[in-house]
Amino acid sequence: MTREAASANVEAAETYPAILKTIIEEGGYTAKQVFDIDETGLYWKKLPGRTYISTEESAALRFKASKDRLPLLLGANAEGDCKLKPALVYQSENPRALKGYVKSFLPCYWYSSRKAWMNSTIFQDYLGKLEKELELYCEREEIPFKILLLLDNAPCHLPSVDLSSNIQLAFLPPNTTSLLQPCDQGIIKTFKSYYLRSTLTNLVERTNKDKQTVKEYWKNFTIKDALRFINPSATG
């Protein structure tokens, strides 16, 4: 059991589903219109410990795989047919690997923070960008543009964010995220598994084709490479 799960508010978690059901029924939301967003951390250059590759990696002279952590925002609807464009926070606004790239064309919403932390300013801007994405989805599906957005009660998820009247926010009770947050019920774990599979597949292809060592591969693996795998893993 994780520390978060051990400290979870079980009583609130047991009563909230009925509250949420009432909100959904009174608002007339369908499964297509109920979305969940959650934050996670992705160690984008870290391999699992129990692999032959990581053993070779550890043996490389004075070389350690980077443990850089990317805060990510992932989201999807209850129907499962709409996975939102992910958002990430990187420690640099203009990394060398992305020189010449237009941020708005990247496969993720790009944000920067010196310590690579999520904050309320970033989160509010992200919600603003999602409005258009959600509106276009509703147009494609020919359903009314009204959305119920489920969030945890993290400090950066301000309940007073200025959103369209078409989007209603519903906040989980404190200390219930590990028990109730839909993205915590396997979605984030699946995303990370897909990301790891993509990076390992690419590693094998590159080391076989280009005769790179694992050490060389990881030294050359940049945030640009990570972006190629984050979006398909989150939206595929």
Residue-level pLDDT at 155:
63
Instruction: List the one residue out of 27, 222, 9 whose CA is nearest residue 144.
Output: 27
Q: Which tokens go with 5?
A: 């799960």
Length of the chain: 236
Cβ-proximal residues to 85 (8 Å cutoff; 6+ apart), any chain: 107, 108, 109, 133, 231, 235
Cα distance between residue 106 and residue 99, in whole Å: 12
Contacts 24+ apart (CB under 8 A), 133-140: 133/84, 133/85, 134/35, 134/167, 135/166, 137/82, 138/33
Q: Is 89 exposed, middle or buried (0-12, 13-18, 19+ CB in 10 A)?
A: buried
How far does the chain reach from its first CA to its final CA, in angstroms? Answer: 29
φ, ψ of residue 39 to 5 degrees: the values are -100, 140
Domains of the chain: 3-235 (3.30.420)
Low-confidence ranges of the chain (pLDDT < 50): 1-6, 60-63, 65-66
Residue-level pLDDT at 62:
43
Tell me how far CA of residue 113 lies from CA of 38, 88, 92, 185, in angstroms. 19, 10, 7, 28
pTM: 0.83
Cα distance between residue 195 and residue 140, in whole Å: 28
Count of Cβ atoms closer than 10 Å to residue 235 Cβ: 17
Tell me how far CA of residue 162 lies from CA of 106, 159, 227, in angstroms. 25, 9, 29
Cα distance between residue 219 and residue 209, in whole Å: 17
Cβ-proximal residues to 111 (8 Å cutoff; 6+ apart), any chain: 87, 88, 89, 90, 122, 125, 126
The enclosing H or E element of 219 equals helix 214-220
Q: Is 151 exposed, middle or buried (0-12, 13-18, 19+ CB in 10 A)?
A: buried
